[in-house]
């Protein structure tokens, strides 16, 4: 594995392939079938699910009326809800943004635009897409969107489970998907899967997922978090950031701080913290945070 020496003392960690599923050839083909999601009264032509410029408001009563950009963008551009959902809960390949502090949201747009917020894995499509989105919206739109998403209630639809053996998976689009066959050893990975794979393409804001983590990682993560004082800052900060946050997203971000792919002024606080964590430590601390135990509140 290539190791890059950085100006700071810490050595970059090679991003593991399991953290960045990417296989656009395996995306489901478009159809014109009428489709819905469980519990919704809305039915649409399935073809629109492939249009990144719009997203379906499956549950209009679940949140206040969103700014236009959440549901619709110009042809070829991205609607926010297409990835983060109308209620901001996100899915494993992006992230929950509901309840995030509005100033933090605005700062992240600036970081994506200036190239100071990249993924540790070069060419990772979700990060590249978010960077493109940041270039498509005006300051006024960002302020309006930050205000909208910051007022939504943070909640998690992710369940964390320790498991020695996990389902076999393949990359489909930008997520992992179960494939037939006997379970296989987890081998230090986090395997995050939508409980119903169709919820991914349907952008279902009530879609639940399960994050499998290595046995013992939650307790180990609790010890690491106590030593490094994660909650001294995170219990109070960033709003919307807490138990149930996607463990694979957390590891992607810790690696981005560690490998100096996240370098905006706000990131400077996190870099020396990430420098003290091995990849296994990152997995453990992310498992603990995602598990949403009382201890992490
Ligand atoms: C193509 C999918 C996609 C679209 C559309 C999209 N995002 Fe994102 N967004 C992402 C991904 C992926 C990330 C995480 C990137 C990373 O890992 O660095 C992200 C990150 C963010 C973050 C930072 C979250 C955090 O906790 O640091 C904010 C805020 C955000 N997006 C807001 C928006 C808003 C507002 C819109 C609409 C203008 C939008 N996004 C549209 C994919 C998307
Ligand atoms: C001294 C305060 C402080 C401590 C301690 C701290 N953090 Fe952070 N953390 C921050 C700040 C500030 C940010 C926002 C960085 C930015 O603006 O880019 C952040 C961001 C993050 C993010 C990215 C969040 C997102 O939505 O993208 C993760 C993940 C994270 N921290 C995990 C941890 C973990 C795990 C620990 C303990 C091992 C920890 N932090 C300890 C201050 C802290």
pLDDT at residue 88 in the model: 94
How far apart (Å, rounded) are the C-alpha atoms in residues 297 and 74? Answer: 40
Residue nearest to ligand 2 atom 17, measured at CA? 266
Binding-site residues, ligand 2, Cβ < 6 A = 107, 225, 228-230, 232-234, 241, 250, 253-254, 262, 264, 266-267, 269-270, 273, 285
Q: How far apart are the first and last CA of the chain?
A: 37
pLDDT at residue 296 in the model: 39
pLDDT at residue 31 in the model: 82
- What pLDDT digit, counting tens, does each position of 121-176 carry? 999 999 999 999 999 999 999 999 999 999 998 888 899 999 999 999 999 999 99
Question: Which of 175, 194, 148, 150 lies closest to 37 in space, CA to CA?
Answer: 194
Share of the chain above pLDDT 90, in %: 78
How far apart (Å, rounded) are the C-alpha atoms in residues 250 and 135? Answer: 24
- What pLDDT digit, counting tens, does each position of 56-87 carry? 999 999 999 999 999 999 999 999 999 999 99
- What pLDDT digit, counting tens, does each position of 17-41 carry? 999 999 987 666 678 899 999 999 9
Residues 6+ apart with CB under 8 A from 238: 100, 101, 104
Quickly tell me which residue has 């739109």 as its tokens.
141
Strands (E), the chain: 34-35, 44-45, 158-162, 165-166, 169-172, 175-178, 184-185, 191-194, 209-213
CA 94 to each of CA 14, 86, 103: distance values in angstroms, whole numbers, following the listed order: 21, 13, 20
Residue 107 in contact with ligand 1 by CB distance below 6 A? no
Mean pLDDT of the chain: 91
Least confident range of 5-19, 179-193, 231-245: 231-245
118 pLDDT more than 70: yes
8 pLDDT more than 80: no
CA of 245 to the centre of ligand 2 (A): 13
Cα 188 to chain centroid, rounded: 19
Tokens matching residue 282? 């990152």
CA of 82 to the centre of ligand 2 (A): 26
Band of residue 294 on the pLDDT scale cut at 50, 70, 90: very low
257 pLDDT more than 60: yes
């Amino acid at each position: 594995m290539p190791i890059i020496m950085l100006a700071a003392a810490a050595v970059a960690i090679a991003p593991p392939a399991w953290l960045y599923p990417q296989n656009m050839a395996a995306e489901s083909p478009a159809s014109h079938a009428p489709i819905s999601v469980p519990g919704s009264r809305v039915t649409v032509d399935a073809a629109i699910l492939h249009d990144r410029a719009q997203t379906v408001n499956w549950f209009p009563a679940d949140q206040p009326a969103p700014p236009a950009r959440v549901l619709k963008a110009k042809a070829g551009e991205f609607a926010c809800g297409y990835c983060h959902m109308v209620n901001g809960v996100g899915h494993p390949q992006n992230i929950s943004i509901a309840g995030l502090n509005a100033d933090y949201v605005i700062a992240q747009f600036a970081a994506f635009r200036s190239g100071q917020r990249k993924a540790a894995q070069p060419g990772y499509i979700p990060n590249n897409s978010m960077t493109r989105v940041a270039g498509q919206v005006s300051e006024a739109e960002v302020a309006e969107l930050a205000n909208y998403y910051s007022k939504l209630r943070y909640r998690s639809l992710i369940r964390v489970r320790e498991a020695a053996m996990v389902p076999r998976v393949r990359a489909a689009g930008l997520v992992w998907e179960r494939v037939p066959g006997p379970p296989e050893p987890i081998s230090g990975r986090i395997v995050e899967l939508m409980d119903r794979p169709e919820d991914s393409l349907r952008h279902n804001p009530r879609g639940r997922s399960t994050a499998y983590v290595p046995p013992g990682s939650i307790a180990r993560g609790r010890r690491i978090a106590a030593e490094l004082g994660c909650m001294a800052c995170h219990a109070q900060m960033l709003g919307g950031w807490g138990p149930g946050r996607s463990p694979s997203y957390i590891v992607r971000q810790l690696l981005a701080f560690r490998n100096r792919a996240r370098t905006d002024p706000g990131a400077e606080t996190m870099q020396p913290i990430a420098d003290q964590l091995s990849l296994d430590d990152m997995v453990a601390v992310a498992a603990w945070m995602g598990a949403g135990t009382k201890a992490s509140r």
